[in-house]
Amino acid sequence: MYKLMIVEDEPLIRAGLKHYFAWQELGVETILEAENGKQGFRTALGERPDIVITDIRMPEMDGLQMVEELRSELPDTVFIILTGYNDFAYAQKAIRLGSVHAFLLKPLEYDESLSILMECLETLKQRKAARVQQNLLETEARETIKLKRSQLVKLLLEEPVPGEIPLSSYGLDGASYTYLPFVVTWFTQQPLSYLARGRLRNQAEKLASELIRCCYNDADRVQVLTYFDHAKMYALACLEESTSPSLTGNAISGPDVSRVSGLFGQSGTDQATFYAALGSRSSDPAAAGSSLRQAEKALYLRFFHPERQLLEAGRPASLPADSDSDPLVRLSGPDKAELERGLETGGAEPIKLLLARLAREKLLDTPGAAYGSLLGFLQDIVSVTLRFAHKHDIPVEGVYSDKLLKLSCVDDFRTLKGLLDWMSGWMLHLSSVYQESSQTNGPGNGIIFKQIETYIRQHLDQDVTLQMVADQFFYNPSYLSRLFKLKLNKNYMTFVSEIRISHAMDCLQKPEYLVTDVCHLCGYKSYKHFVKTFKKITRLTPTDYRKQIGL
């Protein structure tokens, strides 16, 4: 549908034009009016009409002057001159110069005027189609460049790049650049939906833009290349070397420090906490890749400096993320023996206290301890725990997830306490398996299914996947799937459905709930799927079930 503006200083002519043609049949939905060129100019800038029919001779600003002023602002608008015989040559000249598309000669002759309008509408339709196509091509070009830039950052992050990088292929057309690598990560309290993950990525990009503004005098000339991986954004700020940064060395100087600190205090609707780590500046892309990896390691300094959300790799006061000064931390024989005793006796609080004490002694109280120290400490805990499992014939795949194998679990926690509590939960889980197997002369799994049911009931409003449960209870997902079939003779999805429908039956006994309310309370997004699943398990529809219990 189109928007029309009529600019005419004679009220009767304006009113006549509004009713002279069947505008709605022509696709015109809105008709605007202006009594002179000056008013028409202001109205057009605000309303952005698709078609403008204007008289020539008007007070304050004539029609042709208004068209000239609007042409650059409204390139897709079709302008039609309404002219009398005396101005006919004037109007023709305006058409030849390209200012207007057509003219209507007073007094109007219906068929001829309608034909001109139809031509103008066809022109407008073609212009809009061309604009849509152009926007589509521009969007595709931007997305292609963005994807290529993301692949470049990923390449620099993962491996040294041999040879010279063709920067122009990535939209970097300058002769040489200075690169500032940085990494942003974020943490939330709850599992995230697809939309929430998108919002947090947008927040990370916004945070990156603000960081750049705090780091550079001429931030508008900085191009930022980004690559996302789970809850991390790897970024490379590229600045042509002719522009001077306000960074001195690797430190943010001046009053910008307070600005940067303020960026992290805003959690947003998803209640996320953000951290960022800056790498060292470089004029070589390959060196920038190395600095990017150092910045990622610097993120783990949050475990040693929980009060800081902006971290810097290589800064003297920041504890280097990976250097000779990072001591090799290993558990002693008595430490390992104490861990084994904790696994044998069980108890959540003693295990938590033990890990907290070891972390304080081995990490927090050790000068220079950082990324390498942390990994060595965690690896020793994992090794001791797995040896205990082998010693007591506990199936390793049942107590060992990929996150522990790769120590990627460190990326999931904001604080060292949170990480150690999770590790102690894993150790407690293994201890409970050991306790149960000792009592039944063989490995048992009854306890774990009750724990999984409790967890699912606490998160019924979410899509609780097998991977989520496996991560929560330290299982390999494939092993856990086989365990359901072996011990319960049902798959995981059936197990979850039965819990959801059991909860639904409880809710349906409460008359204050509508059936549609119960559907959402039990985590079903589709009412049809809810009814189908309910009937499959209970042999009744939710409505029939209510009738059966007298509601």
In sequence order, what DSSP letters do the residues of 37-79 get, joined into one string?
HHHHHHHHHHH--SEEEEESS-SSS-HHHHHHHHHTT-TT-EE
Greatest CA separation found in the chain?
A: 110
3-state secondary structure of 274: strand
Is the CB of residue 268 less than 8 Å from the CB of residue 206?
no
Q: Are the C-beta atoms of residues 246 and 253 closer than 8 Å to each other?
A: yes
If the chain, 551 residues long, is cut into consecutive pieces of 10 residues, what is the mean pLDDT of each piece? Answer: 93 91 91 94 94 90 89 90 71 69 85 91 88 86 88 85 75 85 89 79 90 82 91 92 48 46 60 89 87 91 87 57 56 88 86 90 76 86 87 71 80 91 87 74 64 89 86 81 88 94 93 91 90 93 91 78
Q: What is the Cα Rg of the chain in Å?
A: 34
Residue 463, helix vs strand vs coil: coil
Tally the C-alpha atoms within 13 A of residue 193's C-alpha that lie toward its C-beta: 8
Place of tokens 């830039």: 149
Cα 300 off chain centre by: 22
Q: So where are the chain's domains?
A: 2-132, 159-318, 333-444, 493-548
From CA 481, how far away is CA 475, in angstroms rounded? 10
The domain over range 159-318 is classified in CATH as 2.60.40: no
The CATH number for 2-132, chosen from 3.10.20.30, 3.20.20.140, 3.40.50.2300, 3.40.50.460, is 3.40.50.2300
Q: Which residues pair with 104 in a beta bridge?
A: 82
**Cis previous bond, 443, omega within 30:** no
pLDDT at 314: 62
Classify 548 in phi/psi space as left (phi over 0), alpha (psi -120 to 50) or beta.
Answer: alpha
Sheet strand arrangement including 177-187: 223-229, 232-240, 177-187, 273-278, 310-312
Q: Report CA torsion sign: 517, 521, 524, 530.
A: negative
The DSSP annotation for 182-223 comes to EEEEEE-SS---HHHHHHHHHHHHHHHHHHHHHHBTTGGG-E
CATH class for the region spanning 493-548: mainly alpha
Domains 2-132 and 493-548 share a fold: no
Report how far Cα 184 is from the mean position of its chain's Cα atoms.
12
Structure confidence at residue 176 (pLDDT): 84
What pLDDT, on a 0 to 100 scale, did the predictor assign at position 104? 86
Q: Are 288 and 236 in contact (CB under 8 A)?
A: yes
Alpha-carbon gap, residue 42 to 404, rounded angstroms = 65
pLDDT of residue 226: 93
CB of 243 closer than 8 Å to CB of 191: no
Q: Is the separation of the CB atoms in 452 and 444 below 8 Å?
A: no
Distance, in Å, from the CA atom of 405 to the CA atom of 391, rounded to the nearest integer, reads: 19
pTM over 0.75: no
Which two three-digit tokens encode residue 5? 């503006």
Instruction: Choose among 510, 493, 521, 520: nearest CA to 545.
Output: 510
Number of Cβ within 10 Å of residue 381's Cβ equals 22
Task: Write the CB contacts of 64 (distance below 8 Å, at least 6 apart in sequence).
Answer: 56, 81, 90, 94, 99, 100
